[in-house]
Structure 1
Amino acid sequence: MITIEALPAAHGDCLWVEWDDGPHQRRMLIDGGPGSTRSLPVGLAARFARQPEDQREFELVVCSHIDDDHIVGLLPLLTAPPKGLHVCEVWFNALEHTGPWDTLGVRSAERLTQVLHEGRFPWNTDTGGGPIVVPEKGPPTFPLRGLTLTLLSPRYKQLTALRTDWHKKTAVRSERDVLGGSAVPTAFDMRYLRELAARPYEADRTAANGSSIAFLAEHPDGSRVLFAADAHADVLVQSLHRLWHGNGYPVSLVKAPHHGSAHNVSAGLVAAVACGDWLFSTNGGRGHGARTRAGLSTHPTPEAVARILLRNGPAEDDSREPHTTFWFNHLTPSTERYAHPSLATLGLRTEYPKPGTDGIRVTVSEGRVVRGDGD
């Protein structure tokens, strides 16, 4: 059994993952979300407050890539660790993993690199200190106690692109529209879903997202979760095809790449997996409130939603049986709009945090996905 808590992380990712290993409970943390470099983000701090001090051992802490909505929350975690924290391994691809260190980069990434160089936490020891990367021979596997990880992203090409782009990155955010997609209509029907899905696909080409550490986690009970970070869809598809030699790789749950962006959820990706449960970690994206009022796109985007539903849905237009479930860690206008009755008639079921709360816990047991206890 694998339990995934998508902690409240605004427009970012912070995933607290636990699984059973015989009588033992193991855990890992994937990203820290946005926030302050001096104190834990609210959602992560609250989760640690609920965790007994003698149960704060993490098999793995992953910083998927250098974007601030993934990396910043890890800085206070590792610079001023909560009492009882023990980390067996950290995965993080720094600039030194893309070539010689001779350019400046994102401040948060450089600070994390400095912290890890201090030697308090094992860093990329699974690869002998080298990069966490998919080699040409195909996706490698990494055994944890009670769980097996299969790396899907990045490849060397994406790390090389990151090196080229690194010196351009700063903590200053661009105002350009990086969300992709169009505004969500007031209602959906099958014709409109097909129109959305048929729109030209413009792939994400940002170097930081392309460098994302993404992987499959497989439990002995047969549960399989794809943690896609912000990875490029074509890289994920290439790795999945190396594992399955075609489309339809069985996955219990997919954490949607890049919060459900139209640039990262491609028709090819949704075809590559056979999965009816998708987890979205997002409040809609940076500036989602103003964007919604202005009729602009927010996460998750309509094109991404349409691609998933058409992949999972029956050929006929009038089926009312649910075939896809979206799990959201925030209830905002950007996410709540997908609970529209017109989408329910097209086979979509939506799950949100309990009223007055943020964050959601899902449990995957023998391949079946349900709400976690207490949600």
Structure 2
Amino acid sequence: MNVYVTVYPAKNGDCFLISFSENEQIQKHLLIDCGYTDTVKAYLKNDLSKIGEEGGVLEKMILTHIDADHIQGAIRLLKENNVSKFIEIKEIWHNTFRHLSDKKQISLDKSQKRILDQLIRRGYPVRENEIKGEQEISAEQGTTVGALILQGKYSWNSDFEGNAISTDFHKKITIGENEELVLLSPNKRKLEQLKSFWRDELYRYGVSYDGGNSELYDDAFEMFMSWEKDTSIKQSVKISAEKETFQDLLQKPFKEDTTVTNGSSIAFILKIQEKNLLFLADAHPDLIVQSLKEYKKDGIIKFDLIKVSHHGSFNNISKDLLELVDSPKYLISTNGGRHNHPDKETIAHIINRQTNFHREIYFNYITDNSKYFDRADWKKKYNYSIHYLNQAPYNLSL
């Protein structure tokens, strides 16, 4: 069984197409996140159209969490696919407000509708150094990912009987005879934190939420949650690059990410025959550690590939997590355009551990921090190498 991971140029975001093949003939495909609008325009749509023309389908389209750098491109993709149907999507995983709320439909008064409509019209945030025109943000009711899924009548979270994607509902989902997804995140606790944050923010805007659901809530929730601030805290002690040592990086204390949107990330193990791939989205390490310990009671879990959480943020990795997992291949997706990811501390902790195999660190962009570790003495001492997936076809073969 051959496995190919296409790592698209998604700026500071994520967009991966996983393809399984036997005897050089592609059989199945999974899409994880869609990056930004231009990710879809320049790269993803062309590949999906070709798959569709050849009779292929997407087994799953997994949108890991509500953040513009992961799902904004899905708006462009679904809008166009709803019109031209260039690719069949058998199942979409996407948690939005309807999966966190009561099933009953409710009516909203004029004041509530006006406030929710204002939240929707603000659209997705435009990040620093990004061009608003490239993003083609739709900021009106009915143009969110959730609304477009409904419009296209896709199978939505049906693996979880229409409920939220959650480890408390299902832990394993079968794709085929020899393929399955083992869900690691989110759980009910993380999703409740997301819901509580939304309820508190509604109250701050003058909307009292007491249960129930509506499509207007869905749209406002998706747009608003994409604005949640990144509370990652960098170390206050600054060390100049000239004086910074490898040991300095290892000694900096870990402070876990607390953003509720990242905590709601869909993270999983993808098992394809004898291959095991770990995709961590932007998940919190505390829940990943808990789930991995349930998955395997003791010993290090060796994966064929680990997609590092949150673009290599040090707030999404921990000593406990690194004591549980390892791989000859690590993947970090970012152009460094937001928060200067990946953090040097993350890479240092990954390569510092003793191993009897060679580690390959893959980046889809050349960044200052990827170049920082491209040192012959360190690569020899810590037994690793630096690789880039920044040119077509952007493929990593397993």
In structure 2, relative to structure 1, the CA distance for the partners of 1:347 and 1:304 (3 Å cut) is: same
In structure 2, relative to structure 1, the CA distance for the partners of 1:21 and 1:97 (3 Å cut) is: farther
1:300 paired with 2:331, answer no
Q: Which has the higher helix share?
A: 2
Between the aligned partners of 1:117 and 1:130, the Cα distance in structure 2 is: 15
In structure 2, relative to structure 1, the CA distance for the partners of 1:193 and 1:164 (3 Å cut) is: same
Note if contact 1:283-1:335 (Cα within 8 Å) is conserved in structure 2: no
Pairing partner for 1:244 from 286, 296, 303:
296
Q: TM-score, normalising length from structure 1?
A: 0.80
Between the aligned partners of 2:386 and 2:152, the Cα distance in structure 1 is: 43
In structure 2, relative to structure 1, the CA distance for the partners of 1:195 and 1:246 (3 Å cut) is: farther
Match of 1:140 in 2: 171
In structure 2, relative to structure 1, the CA distance for the partners of 1:260 and 1:27 (3 Å cut) is: same
Q: CA deviation at 1:266?
A: 1.3
Between the aligned partners of 2:326 and 2:97, the Cα distance in structure 1 is: 35
Kindly name which structure, 1 or 2, has the bigger radius of gyration based on alpha carbons.
2
Q: CA deviation at 1:25?
A: 1.4
Pairing partner for 2:306 from 254, 266, 282:
254
Q: CA deviation at 1:32?
A: 0.3
Match of 2:135 in 1: none
Instruction: Provide the identity percentage.
Output: 27
Match of 1:65 in 2: 65
SS at the partner of 1:216?
Answer: strand
Q: What aligned pairs does 1:218-367 form with structure 2 within 5 A after superposition?
A: 218-220=271-273, 222-286=274-338, 298-313=340-355, 323-345=358-380, 346-353=382-389, 357=391, 360-364=394-398
Between the aligned partners of 1:254 and 1:62, the Cα distance in structure 2 is: 17
Note if contact 1:27-1:59 (Cα within 8 Å) is conserved in structure 2: yes
In structure 2, relative to structure 1, the CA distance for the partners of 1:175 and 1:97 (3 Å cut) is: closer
Note if contact 1:179-1:262 (Cα within 8 Å) is conserved in structure 2: no
The alignment of Structure 1 onto Structure 2 pairs a total of residues equal to 337
Pairing partner for 1:195 from 236, 248, 253:
248
SS at the partner of 1:116?
Answer: helix
In structure 2, relative to structure 1, the CA distance for the partners of 1:80 and 1:128 (3 Å cut) is: same
Match of 1:20 in 2: 21
In structure 2, relative to structure 1, the CA distance for the partners of 1:349 and 1:170 (3 Å cut) is: same
In structure 2, relative to structure 1, the CA distance for the partners of 1:268 and 1:359 (3 Å cut) is: farther
Q: CA deviation at 1:49?
A: 5.8
In structure 2, relative to structure 1, the CA distance for the partners of 1:84 and 1:256 (3 Å cut) is: same
In structure 2, relative to structure 1, the CA distance for the partners of 1:183 and 1:247 (3 Å cut) is: farther
Between the aligned partners of 1:265 and 1:284, the Cα distance in structure 2 is: 17
Structure 2 counterpart of 1:84, one-letter code: F
Q: CA deviation at 1:116?
A: 1.9
Structure 1 counterpart of 2:263, one-letter code: G
Structure 2 residue runs without a partner (length 5+): 107-111, 125-141, 202-222
**Aligned-CA RMSD value:** 3.0
Note if contact 1:193-1:310 (Cα within 8 Å) is conserved in structure 2: no
Between the aligned partners of 2:143 and 2:289, the Cα distance in structure 1 is: 30
Structure 1 residue runs without a partner (length 5+): 287-296, 315-321, 365-375
Note if contact 1:184-1:301 (Cα within 8 Å) is conserved in structure 2: no
Match of 1:124 in 2: 157
Note if contact 1:31-1:62 (Cα within 8 Å) is conserved in structure 2: yes
Q: TM-score, normalising length from structure 2?
A: 0.76
Between the aligned partners of 1:179 and 1:235, the Cα distance in structure 2 is: 20
Q: CA deviation at 1:179?
A: 7.4
Note if contact 1:179-1:298 (Cα within 8 Å) is conserved in structure 2: no
Note if contact 2:312-2:332 (Cα within 8 Å) is conserved in structure 1: yes
In structure 2, relative to structure 1, the CA distance for the partners of 1:172 and 1:140 (3 Å cut) is: closer
Structure 1, residues 69-102: CA drift from partner, whole Å, max 9, x if none?
Answer: 0010111111211653101100011112122488
Between the aligned partners of 2:80 and 2:370, the Cα distance in structure 1 is: 34
Pairing partner for 1:114 from 147, 153, 178:
147
In structure 2, relative to structure 1, the CA distance for the partners of 1:204 and 1:79 (3 Å cut) is: same
SS at the partner of 2:75?
Answer: helix
Q: CA deviation at 1:11?
A: 0.2
Between the aligned partners of 2:384 and 2:243, the Cα distance in structure 1 is: 13
